[in-house]
Amino acid sequence: MGVESGRDQSERLKAALVDGALDCMVAVDERGRVVEFNQAAERTFGYTADEAIGSELGDLIAPPDLRDEYRWELGAASGEDVEGDLRTELVAMRKDGSTLPVEVAVIRVPGVAPPIFAGYIRDVTDVKRTEERALKQSRAIADLAQARGELVSQLILAEERTRQRIAQVLHDDALQLLLAAHQDLLEAAPGREGVTRAQHALEGTIERLREAVAALHPVTHQQGDLETALSAVVRQQASRGGFRYTVRVESGASGIEDELVLSATRELVSNVAKHAQASRCAVSVDRNGDMIELEVADDGVGIPAGRQEAALRDGHIGLASTIQRMKAMGGDGEVTSSVGRGTVVMAAIPITGDQRDA
């Protein structure tokens, strides 16, 4: 038995590396004819190496309508077509006619004449399936987020309209009846002690009922008159909290998501009246792309670190819950506060439906 030469050992090592590779390894000559076809290529495409060698690679593994593309991509038409390292994704075809997505890398083998091109072909079917699953999942998550935002928006609007209906019933029925009773007492027996006490009781009840109506729905809001509605909301809270106020509404922000803006403003300014001990409060509303941006700023005592989170954990509504609702709708919210120097709340409310293009 002769001693194996170093050249023979090198060839055997190369053959073992080629056939042991997990990816398909194919070599073609300057005419695009297959000169090497490893075992991974045999398993992937269904041809034996004997069947493949000598065939044009494009005719062997390309769907008929993509063969010209293969010839161009793989540089089979001319040895000048491939310069350096070419990488691309293509659709390949097995011997049985079924197709699969592949990633192809082609390099020109250095120092070989006539030129030889080595092609590394990887079946990316599993990668594509994973990408498709991930895309479907991301779309499903996006759809769920949108549905959640729409549901939260509908709940807030339903709450606002319920407030309006209750206020209207109280104003049109109960309050009017009390006012009529008060007038009847004045006309029936003015000055009598019992009547005077009844008058005072009625007057107190009427005032409290008016306050309740104002708190529930402080103004009959007309489309495009957001600034008037907000001013009524802030005025009612300013009388409770003892602060001065300003309200500014950009013209392009009015008449779009007014009920949501009113609801959020009521919560935020009510929080100022209850807790801020402020002397001034400024409310502004602007449109920024597909968002309505509401800012409520006060010069009050500020919010200690962790107070909002603790309130939300304890089930208290107010500032923290308003921010959470904005985020749940697909908007955003941010609170900037400094103890002793006041608080600024920014709430971004998403514009929905046809209003986006308005």
Q: What is the mean pLDDT of residues 196-205?
A: 69
Express the helix, strand and coil content of the chain in percent, nearest 5 each: 55, 20, 25
C-alpha 306/C-alpha 4 separation (Å) is 78
88 Cβ contact list (under 8 Å, min separation 6): 73, 103, 104
Task: Retrieve residue 145's tokens.
Answer: 């987020």
Measured from the Cβ of residue 353, the count of other Cβ atoms closer than 10 Å reads 10
- What pLDDT sits at residue 315? 43
Task: Retrieve residue 99's tokens.
Answer: 């197709």
pTM: 0.47
Closest among 234, 238, 240, 239 to 264, alpha carbons compared: 234
Residue-wise pLDDT for 267-307, tens only, equals 899 889 988 899 999 999 999 998 999 999 999 998 877 66
334 Cβ contact list (under 8 Å, min separation 6): 323, 345, 346
Backbone angles phi, psi at 220, to 5 degrees: -80, 105
Q: Which of 9-13, 50-54, 119-123, 337-341 tops mean pLDDT?
A: 50-54
Please say whether the structural domain 221-358 has been given the CATH code 1.10.760.10.
no
292 or 201, which is more confident?
292
CA angle, 189 as apex, 187 and 190 as ends, to 5°? 80
Task: Retrieve residue 185's tokens.
Answer: 């007492």
Least confident of 8-17, 57-66, 265-274: 8-17
Helix, strand, or coil (residue 336): strand
Please report the DSSP string for 109-132 in residue order: PTT-SS-EEEEEEEE-HHHHHHHH
- What pLDDT sits at residue 174? 63
Instruction: Give domain limits for the chain.
Output: 6-123, 125-217, 221-358
Range 6-123: architecture per CATH: 2-Layer Sandwich (3.30)
What letter would DSSP give residue 75?
Answer: T
281 or 138, which is more confident?
281
pLDDT bracket for residue 248 (50, 70, 90): very high
Helix, strand, or coil (residue 177): helix
- What pLDDT sits at residue 220? 44
